[in-house]
């Protein structure tokens, strides 16, 4: 999986749009007016399919997600300005599936909510900034 990601990123960084006519695969880059990258995405038949990454106007990675046929399907991550993960959730065909985690800037878990087919399966669990469970 890591090798595929590296190859994908190298392809994306090498040009703005590459299209494979046989499979209708297109790698798309969008830029801000200041020239910095706004997003990189893989599309098949003009639908998001594969990794998509978004940056802010200053070049900081904001989020990354995996899509299948224009639907969230896989891990979605949101990052703080200092590059740490602040939000993590898995999707299965557009529905939340598994643990949704929120993090403090120090990396400790802030809260966890578990989903199955976007339905909550337990009460939310919360921790303080030091990692102590909040009752």
Contact 90, 112 (CB under 8 A): no
Q: What is the pLDDT of residue 79?
A: 97
Q: What is the pTM of this model?
A: 0.76
* Cα diameter, the chain: 56
- Nearest alpha-carbon partner for 61 in 16, 18, 9: 9
Task: Tell me 106's DSSP state.
Answer: T
Tokens of 17: 């749009």
Tokens of 43: 């599309």
Residue 13, classified by CB atoms within 10 Å of its CB into exposed (0-12), middle (13-18) or buried (19+), is: exposed
Q: What is the pLDDT along the chain (135 residues), one digit of tens a residue?
A: 444 443 344 344 444 444 445 568 899 999 999 999 999 999 999 999 999 999 999 999 999 999 999 999 999 999 999 999 999 999 999 999 999 999 999 999 999 999 999 999 999 999 999 999 996
- The gap from C-alpha 7 to its chain's centroid, in whole angstroms, comes to 18
Tokens of 69: 């046929």
Tokens 């909510």 map to which residue? 113
Task: Tell me 2's DSSP state.
Answer: H
């Amino acid at each position: 999986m890591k090798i595929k990601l590296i190859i994908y990123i190298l392809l994306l960084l090498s040009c703005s749009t590459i299209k494979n006519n046989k499979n209708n695969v297109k790698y798309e880059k969008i830029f801000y007016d200041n020239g910095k990258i706004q997003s990189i995405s893989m599309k098949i038949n003009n639908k998001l399919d594969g990794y998509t990454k978004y940056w802010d106007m200053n070049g900081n990675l904001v989020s990354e997600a995996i899509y299948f046929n224009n639907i969230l399907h896989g891990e979605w991550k949101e990052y703080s300005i200092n590059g740490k993960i602040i939000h993590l959730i898995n999707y299965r065909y557009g529905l939340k599936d598994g643990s949704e985690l929120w993090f403090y800037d120090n990396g400790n878990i802030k809260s966890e909510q578990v989903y199955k087919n976007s339905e909550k399966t337990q009460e939310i669990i919360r921790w303080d900034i030091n990692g102590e469970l909040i009752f």
